[in-house]
Structure formats: structure tokens, C-alpha cells
Amino acid sequence: MKKVAIIGISGYSGLELLRLLHGHSEVTVVGVYGTSTVGEKLTALFPKLQGYAEYAGLTIKQFDAAEIMATADLVFFATPAGIAAIHAADFIHAEFPVIDLSGDFRLQDPSQYEKWYARPASHAQLLAKADYVLADFDTPKTAYISNPGCYATATLLSLAPLYKESLIQYDSVIVDAKSGLSGAGKKLTDSSHYVNANENVSMYKLNQHQHIPEIINKLMTWQEKTLPIQFSTSLIPVTRGIFVSTYAKLAADVSFEQVREAYEKTYRDSYFVTVCEQGHLPDLHHVVGTNVTAIGLGYNPLTNTLTVVTVIDNLVKGAAGQAIQNMNHFFNFDEKAGLDLLPIL
């Protein structure tokens, strides 16, 4: 049995890690860390956990790298941007396994991080030790696993076959992504206030979203002809879910049948990626509560435009679920351990 610690337990992704790890037969949570709730018993802070005896002994603690390394085999950072950048160095020097859900180690160039996150980056030598691991394509090469962002995950899975198999015109890609409110974390803001979010839709961070550079960096590894993409993000009044509509013009002499075959081939062996049958497009209910990415395809010959609809649960595939999938690969566990879930029907 491996022992893990969660930093940021009182946040949405931290709690989702706890929920999913509860169903994992090879892992036990031995330490939980926070800031504003330090000293509180987990079951007192979250009374919904009171029926579960294994959490009765967990008290939220102040971050302590030495203690974590002495008591656990791996640590998750489920903390806002800027925290892992400050606290990860001891783990990296000791090559202690980390899975970082934040964006702090996704961009290896410090100036790129500082431009898109508007905060100081970690040191270049530390950034170089991190591995950006998109779990349906990659397995971890180092002990510091940088979990992709939620929008980036959905977008990259949406685009992968098109870039890997050279199927589209790279100057024609438009990604229109929409997220539920849990994507913004638990901190209340004006835009996430119920009255502003309910029965409303709003676009935000247009052309400035921090996931743009990690998407482009990854696309470049698949296709050297990659060009900038048009990328927008909107807030929709649901709790969980990311809905990504992607549009692109097919390259000369490429047919829709070839595109469909490329998606089916790319994801044939991916347990967590479903390519919907011809004529079917997925919706959020297809994936909420699961680690699944569902992808549907459509083509308009009049405009030579391919539409790809991709949906994920931002807290599972977009955060905690992918982190556990990466952990399963890292420890050579069954990829599905803790993640073999049906959608909430």
C-alpha cells in the first residue's frame, strides 16, 4: 500500500483527490495540508466525511516538506498558482514523487510563465526537472509530474489526431471552450457569485488564457507546422464540466472518413477516451463524475470545416482524475485503479 499526502485538501481538487482515492485499493491518504484551516479535524470541517472511520484521525496541518517525505511516498499539490513554485524545491532536490495540479511547472521557460501567469516563476533548473504528462499519451519520465490544465487537457485530446496525422490547415484552428464554475476553485469572486453566474454565460481572458502556451508547446511536439490557435474560454452555469467546440479546415485531399479513422486509431487503446459513433455528439452528462474524455465529430463539406466536440469533467479528467491516472502509471498500478467510474446517470 502506497501512502500519499494532499496539499490543498480543503479546495475542490484536493477534496476530489480524497474522494477518488477512497476507491483506490493501492493507496491510502496519510497527510492533509492547508493554510486557513490548519489544526481542524478533516471530519469536523467536512461533516459529510463523518461516517468514514479512516478519516477520523486526519487533522489539517501546516505544510512541512520534511514531514511529508518522512511519512508519505508521493505528494499532490492541489494548490493555487504560485504555491508549488515556492514549496517544491525540497521535493525536487530529493527526487521525491510529486504530482502538481497547478500550472507552476507546466512551462519550462520562466519568462513564458511570468508572461501568462503574471507572477514569479520557479528557477529554470527546477522547471527543467518537471515532466508535463498528458496521461492518455505519456507516462512520467521524472518524479515531478506536472498535471496538464483542465482546458488544455480537453483541447489537446480534441486536437491530437489532427496534428499527429497532419490532417488540417494549421492557420484555421478555432477552439471555443466553456467551463462550469468549479473550474474557478472555491474562492468567491464577482464572476462566480451565484447571481452573476446563474442563467448567464460570459467569456473571459479572451486571447489571454494561461493554458494557451501549454497547449501550443504540446502541439509543437506532435506537429512542427503548428501555428497559433484562436482560443476562447467562457463560464457556464453548471457545477462541473468542460465543453470544447473545435473548428478547423481540412487539409487538401483529406476526407472526413480519414479524419474519423485517425481518431479511432489514435484512441483505440485508450480506456479513458471515447470517440462517439458517427452522428453522435457528446454532452456534459456523458462524462460528469468520470475520468472519461468523450469526443464527437462532424463535417460540413460546404465550408470544408471539421467540428470536434470534446467534453470532460474538469475536476476529474481536468484535475484529480488525471493526477491519479498519472500516479497509477508512475507506480505501475492498473491505469483504471480508483478511476473506473460510470457517469452520474
Ligand X SMILES: NC(=O)C1=CN([C@@H]2O[C@H](COP(=O)(O)OP(=O)(O)OC[C@H]3O[C@@H](n4cnc5c(N)ncnc54)[C@H](OP(=O)(O)O)[C@@H]3O)[C@@H](O)[C@H]2O)C=CC1
Task: Look up residue 48 and give its DSSP letter.
Answer: G
In this complex, which beta carbon is closest to ligand X2W, that of residue 199 or of residue 269?
Answer: 199
Residue 173 engages ligand X2W in binding (rule: CB under 6 A): no
**For ligand X2W, which residue of 34, 97, 149, 296 counts as binding (CB under 6 A)?**
149
Write out the binding residues for ligand X, residues 131-190 only, by CB under 6 A.
Answer: 149-150, 182-183, 185-187
Residues 6+ apart with CB under 8 A from 255: none
- Active site members: 150
Minimum distance of ligand X from residue 184's CB (angstroms): 7
Instruction: Report the alpha-carbon angle 166-168-174, nearest 5.
Output: 130
Pick one of ligand X2W, ligand X, none as the site partner of residue 235 (Cβ within 5 to 8 A by kind): ligand X2W
Nearest in space to 32 (alpha carbons), one of 21, 48, 290? 21
**For ligand X, which residue of 4, 5, 6, 13 counts as binding (CB under 6 A)?**
13
Helix boundaries (H) for the chain: 12-21, 42-45, 65-71, 83-87, 89-93, 110-117, 124-127, 150-164, 194-197, 212-222, 256-267, 321-330
Give the pairing type, strands 305-312 and 242-249. antiparallel
Taking the CA of residue 56 as centre, how many other CA atoms within 13 Å lie in the half-sphere pointing to its CB? 5
Minimum distance of ligand X from residue 256's CB (angstroms): 32
Residue with cell 492498473: 334
Which strands, in side-by-side order, build the sheet including 230-235?
202-204, 230-235, 174-179, 242-249, 305-312, 293-300, 273-275
Residue 80 engages ligand X in binding (rule: CB under 6 A): yes
Pick one of ligand X, ligand X2W, none as the site partner of residue 272 (Cβ within 5 to 8 A by kind): none
Give the start-end residues of each E strand in the chain. 2-7, 27-33, 74-77, 98-100, 130-132, 144-146, 174-179, 202-204, 230-235, 242-249, 273-275, 293-300, 305-312
**For ligand X2W, which residue of 210, 266, 325, 326 counts as binding (CB under 6 A)?**
210
Residue 212 engages ligand X2W in binding (rule: CB under 6 A): no
Write out the binding residues for ligand X, residues 296-335 only, by CB under 6 A.
Answer: 314-315, 318-319
Residue 39 engages ligand X in binding (rule: CB under 6 A): no
Residue 122 engages ligand X2W in binding (rule: CB under 6 A): no
Residue 150 engages ligand X2W in binding (rule: CB under 6 A): yes
In this complex, which beta carbon is closest to ligand X2W, that of residue 152 or of residue 273?
Answer: 152
Look at residue 57 and give its three-state secondary structure.
coil
**For ligand X, which residue of 83, 92, 157, 312 counts as binding (CB under 6 A)?**
83
Residue 14 engages ligand X in binding (rule: CB under 6 A): yes
In this complex, which beta carbon is closest to ligand X, that of residue 38 or of residue 206?
Answer: 38
Show the cell assigned to 227.
Answer: 501555428
> Looking at beta carbons, which residue is closest to ligand X?
11
Binding residues (CB under 6 A) for ligand X: these are 7-8, 10-14, 33-37, 63, 78-81, 83, 101-102, 149-150, 182-183, 185-187, 314-315, 318-319
